[in-house]
Amino acid sequence: MDRKIEVKKGFKTKHIYILIGIIFLGFLVWLLLSSSTSTYRAELDKLTIAEVSQAEFKDYISIIGTVEPKTTIYMDVEEGGKVVEKLIDEGELVKKGDVILRLINNDLKLQILNTESSLAYQANELRNTLINMEQQKISNKQQILSIDTDIIRQKRNYEQNLLFFDKGFVSKEIYLRSKEDYDLLLQDRQLRYQRMIQDSIFRENQKIQMNSSLNNMKQNLEMVRDRLENLNIKAPADGQLGSLDIEIGQSIDRGERIGQLHILNNFKVAAEVDEHYIDRVRRNLAASLLRHDQEFILKAKKVYPEVRDGRFKVDLIFDGKSPEKLRTGQTYHIKLELGQPTDALLLTHGGFFQSTGGQWVFVLDESGRFATRRNIKIGRQNSQYFEVLEGLQAGEKVITSSYDTFGDNERIDFK
């Protein structure tokens, strides 16, 4: 007779093994997942969180500018010498013509004495020449007067002999001699007169040459005296004396630069800009500064091409009204506009940029319980915001404080 087989209910041993295997497999999967995403736990209230916004991006940079004189006159020594007196110190206000330094130059003094001596000698020579000319002129006139008298007498003698010869009272020889003597006197007078004219012309030319030479010597003397006056170094204009590194007893060569003079009737603002913006900064860019809650407009006047220590220099001038009582050396925070405002995704500045270079950020999950790392791309920036080009959307929240303590973790869990 057949026997009925009963099926036993409940877990069998193999079922237990299968269950244990499933649990173990799940544990392995959890380990793999937890090891692939490194996590850092941080306190949320100690982090700075910023929300990405869609707003107007003002394309400007903040720079620090220093007030400088718009015009600076460099002072070079026109005549070398030794400093014997320093009347005005660096930083003092001066008027045009104020003596700043006094120099002494013994060689120049000796040159003046020699020139004065030569001038006195030349003047004396000219006086002697003029006296001789006058004496010679008188002598020539006396000679002409004397020969004119002789001619009158000889003419009278000749005419008498001619009359007597015609009447037969004198011989022909006497008559001819009187005629020859008369003709000789006429010729002699003509020669003497020509010589007197030539002598007069020669001496007049000599006089002109000596006068010219004398005038040249006088001019040279004046020039040398002017050089002597140049030993008194004076302010070329009203202003403030800049650098003046000169001491008493110091020797200064001709043409050496001794300092500079700042003209205080107009100013510029000199600033240094990060080389990152060198392709965007150009002449006539607008800028502004605030002083006592009043805005003043400037424009870029000159952009220097040289880059030093990662920065280049820009000179700005006031476009219209300038602040009152500006002083050299004052500093101001300036907004330099690089372009027109545009609509863009904006992310607030923060310490994260030093760690990531703006290439990635930690973005909060919608739950607000953790944040994950995400690659982004930023464009322009001003003193407050970065322009976000890729990787974020308006309304998302980002950790903007420093990432230095996060290490290489890709997820931040909040305590």
User: Is 1 a member of any domain?
Assistant: no
Residue 316 domain-assigned (yes or no): yes
Mean pLDDT of the chain: 87
Residue 34 pLDDT greater than 70, yes or no: no
Structural domain includes residue 291: yes
**pLDDT range class, residue 5, cuts 50, 70, 90:** very low
Same domain, 267 and 355: no
Question: What are the residue ranges of helices labelled H in 79-171?
Answer: 106-167
Q: Find the angle CA(66)-CA(69)-CA(71) to the nearest 5 degrees.
A: 140
Residue 341's SS3 state is coil
pLDDT higher than threshold 50 for residue 86:
yes
State the pLDDT confidence band at 83, using cuts at 50, 70 and 90: very high
| CATH number of 350's domain | 2.40.420.20
Other Cβ atoms within 10 Å of 384 Cβ, number: 12
List the domain range (segments joined by +) for residue 18: 8-37
The domain boundary residue, chosen from 290, 305, 339: 339
Q: What is the mean pLDDT of residues 323-347?
A: 90
Residue 48 lies in a domain: yes
Q: Decide if 39 contacts 389 (C-beta within 8 A).
A: no
Do 265 and 314 fall within a single domain? yes
Q: Do 111 and 97 share a domain, yes or no?
A: no
pTM comes to: 0.54
The reply to whether 408 and 328 lie within a common domain is no
CATH number of 217's domain: 1.20.120
Tokens of 304: 């220097």
For residue range 348-406, list pLDDT tens digits in order. Answer: 999 999 999 999 999 999 999 999 999 999 998 888 899 999 999 999 999 999 999 99
Residue ending a domain, among 203, 229, 255, is 229
Asked if residue 263 and residue 192 are part of one domain, the reply reads: no
Give 74 or 37, the one with higher predicted confidence.
Answer: 74
Mean local confidence (pLDDT), 205-220:
83
The residue with greater pLDDT, 32 or 272, is 272
Residue 43 lies in a domain: yes
Half-sphere exposure of 353 toward its Cβ, with a 13 Å CA cutoff? 13
- Contacts (Cβ under 8 Å, ≥6 apart) of 378: 347, 358, 386, 387, 388, 389
Percent of the chain residues past pLDDT 70, beyond the cut: 93
Question: Measured between alpha carbons, how far apart are the two ends of the chain, in Å?
Answer: 73
pLDDT-based confidence at 26, cuts 50/70/90? low
Q: How far apart are CA 395 and CA 58, in angstroms?
A: 20
CATH number at residue 286: 2.40.30.170
Question: 10 Å Cβ neighbour count for 135?
Answer: 10
Ordered DSSP codes for 50-101: EE-EEEEE--EEEEEEEEEEEEEEEEE-SS-EEEEEE-S-TT-EE-TT-EEE
43 and 23 assigned to the same domain: no
Residue 146 Cα distances to 114, 160, 341, 347, angstroms = 47, 21, 109, 120
Centroid of chain to Cα 262? 12
Q: How many other C-beta atoms lie within 10 A of the C-beta of residue 334?
A: 21
Does residue 95 lie in a domain region? yes
Confidence band of 25 (pLDDT split at 50, 70, 90): confident
pLDDT at 29 (0 to 100): 53
User: Strands 39-42 and 411-414, how do they pair?
Assistant: parallel
Indicate the residue type of 343. D
Could you tell me if 21 and 49 lie in one domain? no
- b/e map 168-198, b = 16+ CB within 10 Å: eebeeeebeebbebbeebeeebeeeeeebee
Model confidence at 1, pLDDT cuts 50, 70, 90, reads very low
* Total number of domains in the chain: 4
Average pLDDT for 197-206: 86
Q: What is the pLDDT of residue 18?
A: 73
Cβ distance 134 to 142 under 8 Å?
A: no
Same domain, 95 and 242: yes
287 shares its domain with 360: no
Q: Which of 229, 246, 279 is the last residue of a domain?
A: 229
Ramachandran region, residue 399 (left: φ > 0; alpha: ψ -120 to 50; beta: rest): beta
Is 246 found in the same domain as 220? Answer: no
User: Token pair 């970065």 is at which residue?
Assistant: 386
Give, in degrees to the nearest 5, the angle at Cα 165 between 164 and 167: 65
Count the Cβ atoms, other than its own, within 10 Å of residue 143. Answer: 16
In tens, the pLDDT along 96-107 reads 999 999 999 998
Phi, psi of 66 (to 5 degrees): -115, 130
pLDDT band, very low/low/confident/very high, at 212 (cuts 50, 70, 90): confident
Residue 194, domain member (yes or no): yes
Residues 137 and 193 grouped into a single domain: yes
Tokens 């372009």, residue located: 339
Q: List CB contacts of 414: < 8 A, sequence separation 6 or more.
A: 41, 42, 43, 44, 368, 369, 370, 371
pLDDT bucket at 7, cuts 50 / 70 / 90: very low
pLDDT band at 109 (very low <50, low <70, confident <90, very high): confident
Residues 136 and 244 in one domain: no
Domain membership flag for residue 3: no
Burial class (CB in 10 A: 0-12, 13-18, 19+), 397: middle
